[in-house]
């Protein structure tokens, strides 16, 4: 028998729950449903889902609270669903440990892609503890060689500087996931760096000029306006 | 609170100042002129100025009362005594009080009317937008409700491909609604009265790139070219809003150009300005539409060509308010080689480039 990945959906709206159940079951996930924060809490602790899809607007508590309590004891992937369009809320959820966010309204293909990415990251994190990154990240014509500290596009070394390489390899380690400006700055320049993200932005612009054919229509490095950066999904 | 107190203090000072000046002039004239008929007139004038330069009735009326007492006390015989019983004078004072009160009331009223006119203007714009929105929302909703109940009611007799068609319609119409809502949300990011926005330094190519990516998700078959200067341009803006402007312009080109196959985004640097144009190879914009494109009234004038033009009104008027809130401007034209071009500019610092 197949072992299915178990998805917990925390969502209070009936028709959206319907939609989640239909789509996820059709794509061979084992689906659990919670309509309130309290229900979510008990299901998370008793049934250990592989991924949690968490709506931030719940009737009985703020979704961010649930996220916080999960993060106190588990690194299980959490995808935050938000109807809030202000990028500040997305940044907050990501900085509190959400693996990804998806904004209502979204399509099924987008949803499934996020779930796959989140589960893959969780598995990868189990296999290779942080800081021990080796091997190669490959997507289309781009290659990050973690052993040689080099980035190649179409087989050619693009000649990144030390910091530029650090940024790209950090994004690569979280392939497909959005990293906030603050997170990247802390990882690259340390916690005492000013919160001004200008230096990161300029670095990214230079990286784009080395990696992308057309910086205004990138193939590998994407901007989530007001939130952060994301590298393309690996092949 | 602080602001209110500030204007209170300021208005009191203005009132006292103007009355003081009037008194000084009156005292000065007293040295040379034997009659004192000019005195009440001088104070009426003072009251008029007080009403003009302060907020509300209060200061004007207070000033007229003070002026009457002042005139009686200082400038009429017996000097430095309050005396209303002198023949004829009481009438003068009453007349003066009435004139002062009416003058102050009138100037206040004029100011209020000006305010009302501005409000009405704003209301009208809001009304236009609301009308356009409800018009734009009703049609897709009708289609969604119709298609969904069509499927539910005829589930047994509908051929499969007919059903799929209806479901596809539902999806498309719903996506249309999403776009309208996104536009409306954008407007709420611009803060009321003085159209204040929060700007950050954004790298132009990131905003353009993100807008193109969003557009591509919706119109995968459309070709988009971008051309921009080599150097990294950092321009203060609300990135989300400018992204929305570019997405709207791209969508307009795709939907309203009809025959559009290629859209080009051109970014250019001018002294003190960032120029962004979106041009297409479609049918262009009808000459009759060009002058009213940005004011949101397009919807109510159209009707007969509804399907091909809808949302253009909202999309463009939203673009215009966003660009205006950035203290930039926007214009639309037809290209001589065919197709439309919409250009907007944002202010930026002279020495930009890294």
Q: What is the ipTM of this complex?
A: 0.83
Topology classification of domain B197-347:
Heat Shock Protein 90 (3.30.565)
**pLDDT, greater one: B336 or B125:** B336
CB contact under 8 A, B240 and A201: no
pLDDT recorded at residue B263: 95
Closest CA to A58 of A105, A91, A118, A11: A11
Q: What is the pTM of this model?
A: 0.73
Q: Of A87, A208, A215, which has the smallest distance from its Cβ to B240's Cβ?
A: A87
Q: Of A105, A202, A216, which has the smallest distance from its Cβ to B205's Cβ?
A: A216
- Which of A127-131, A152-156, A227-231, B310-314 is predicted with the least confidence, judged by mean pLDDT? A127-131
The runs of H, that is alpha helices, within chain B are 2-30, 38-53, 58-70, 89-153, 160-189, 204-218, 239-256, 298-301, 306-309, 312-325
pLDDT recorded at residue B1: 42
Q: What is the band of B298 on the pLDDT scale with cuts at 50, 70, 90?
A: low
Domain range list for chain B: 2-117, 197-347
Residues of chain A found within 8 Å of residue B214, distances taken between Cβ atoms: none
Rounded CA separation B191/B195 (Å): 5
Q: Is B140 on the interface with A (CB under 8 A)?
A: no
pLDDT recorded at residue B306: 46
Q: How many residues does chain B have?
A: 354
pLDDT exceeds 80 at position B82: no
How much of chain B exceeds pLDDT 70, in percent?
84
Compute how many other C-beta atoms are within 10 angstroms of the C-beta atom of residue A187.
Answer: 14
How much of chain A exceeds pLDDT 90, in percent?
37
Residues of chain A found within 8 Å of residue B239, distances taken between Cβ atoms: 225-226
Q: By three-state DSSP, how is residue B265 classified?
A: strand
List, in order, residues 6 or more apart from A29 with CB less than 8 Å away. A4, A5, A6, A7, A115
- Give the mean pLDDT of chain A: 87
pLDDT exceeds 70 at position B270: yes
The angle that helices A87-95 and A63-71 make with each other, rounded to 10 degrees, is: 20
For residues B188-207, average pLDDT: 80
Q: What is the band of B203 on the pLDDT scale with cuts at 50, 70, 90?
A: very high
CA distance B108 to chain A (A): 42
Interface test with A, best of B204, B205, B231, B354 (most A CBs within 10 A): B205
| Structural domains of chain A, with CATH | 6-127 (3.40.50.2300), 136-231 (1.10.10.10)
CB contact under 8 A, B209 and A206: no
How much of chain B exceeds pLDDT 90, in percent?
22
SS3 content of chain A, % helix, strand, coil (to 5): 40, 20, 35
pLDDT recorded at residue B280: 92
Q: What is the band of B208 on the pLDDT scale with cuts at 50, 70, 90?
A: very high
Q: What is the band of A226 on the pLDDT scale with cuts at 50, 70, 90?
A: confident
Q: What is the band of A212 on the pLDDT scale with cuts at 50, 70, 90?
A: very high
For residues B268-274, average pLDDT: 91
């Amino acid at each position: 028998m197949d072992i299915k990945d178990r998805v917990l959906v925390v969502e209070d709206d009936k028709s959206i729950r319907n939609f989640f159940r239909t789509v996820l079951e059709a794509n061979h996930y084992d689906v659990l449903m919670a309509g309130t924060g309290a229900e979510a809490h008990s299901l998370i602790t008793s049934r250990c889902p592989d991924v949690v899809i968490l709506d931030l607007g719940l009737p009985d508590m703020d979704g961010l609270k649930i996220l916080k309590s999960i993060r106190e004891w588990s690194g299980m992937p959490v995808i935050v669903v938000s109807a809030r369009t202000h990028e500040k809320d997305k940044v907050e959820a990501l900085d509190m440990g959400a693996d990804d966010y998806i904004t209502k309204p979204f399509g099924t293909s987008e949803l499934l892609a996020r779930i796959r990415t989140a589960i893959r990251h969780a598995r990868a994190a189990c296999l290779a503890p942080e800081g021990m990154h080796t091997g190669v990240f490959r997507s289309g014509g781009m290659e990050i060689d973690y052993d040689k500290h080099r980035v190649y596009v179409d087989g050619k070394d693009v000649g990144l500087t030390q910091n530029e390489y650090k940024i790209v390899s950090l994004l690569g380690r979280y392939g497909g996931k959005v990293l906030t400006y603050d997170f990247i700055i802390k990882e690259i320049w340390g916690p005492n760096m000013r919160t001004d993200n200008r230096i990161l932005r300029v670095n990214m612009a230079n990286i784009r000029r080395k990696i992308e054919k057309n910086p205004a229509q990138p193939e590998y490095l994407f901007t989530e306006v007001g939130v952060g950066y994301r590298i393309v999904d690996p092949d | 609170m602080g602001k209110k107190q500030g204007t209170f203090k300021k208005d009191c000072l203005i009132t006292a100042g103007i009355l003081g000046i009037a008194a000084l002039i009156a005292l000065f004239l007293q040295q040379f002129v034997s009659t004192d008929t000019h005195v009440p007139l001088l104070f009426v004038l003072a009251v008029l100025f007080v009403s003009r330069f302060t907020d509300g009735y209060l200061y004007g009326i207070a000033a007229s009362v003070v002026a009457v007492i002042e005139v009686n006390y200082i400038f009429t015989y017996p000097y430095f005594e309050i005396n209303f019983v002198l023949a004829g004078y009481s009438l003068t004072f009453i007349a003066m009080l009435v004139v002062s009160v009416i003058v102050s009331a009138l100037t206040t009223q004029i100011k209020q009317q000006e305010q009302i006119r501005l409000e009405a203007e704003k209301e009208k714009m809001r009304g236009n937008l609301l009308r356009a929105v409800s018009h734009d929302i009703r049609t897709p909703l009708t289609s969604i409700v119709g298609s969904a109940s069509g499927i539910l009611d005829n589930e047994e007799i509908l051929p499969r491909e007919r059903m799929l068609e209806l479901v596809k319609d539902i999806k498309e119409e719903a996506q249309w609604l999403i776009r309208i809502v996104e536009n409306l949300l954008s407007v709420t990011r611009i803060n009321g009265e003085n159209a204040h926005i929060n700007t950050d330094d954004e790298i132009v190519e990131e905003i353009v790139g993100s807008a193109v990516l969003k557009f591509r998700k919706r119109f995968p078959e459309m070709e988009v070219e971008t051309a921009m200067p080599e150097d990294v341009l950092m321009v203060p803006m609300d990135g989300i809003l400018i992204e929305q402007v570019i997405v709207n312009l791209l969508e307009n080109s795709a939907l309203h150009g009809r025959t559009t196959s290629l859209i080009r985004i051109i970014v250019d640097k001018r002294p003190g300005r960032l120029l962004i144009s979106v041009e297409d190879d479609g049918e262009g914009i009808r000459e009759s539409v060009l002058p009213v494109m940005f004011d949101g009234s397009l919807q109510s004038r159209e009707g007969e060509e509804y399907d091909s033009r809808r949302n253009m009104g909202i999309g463009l008027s939203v673009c215009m308010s966003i660009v205006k809130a950035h203290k930039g401007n926007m214009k639309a034209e037809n290209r001589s080689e065919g197709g439309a071009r919409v250009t907007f500019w944002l202010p930026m610092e002279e020495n930009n480039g890294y």
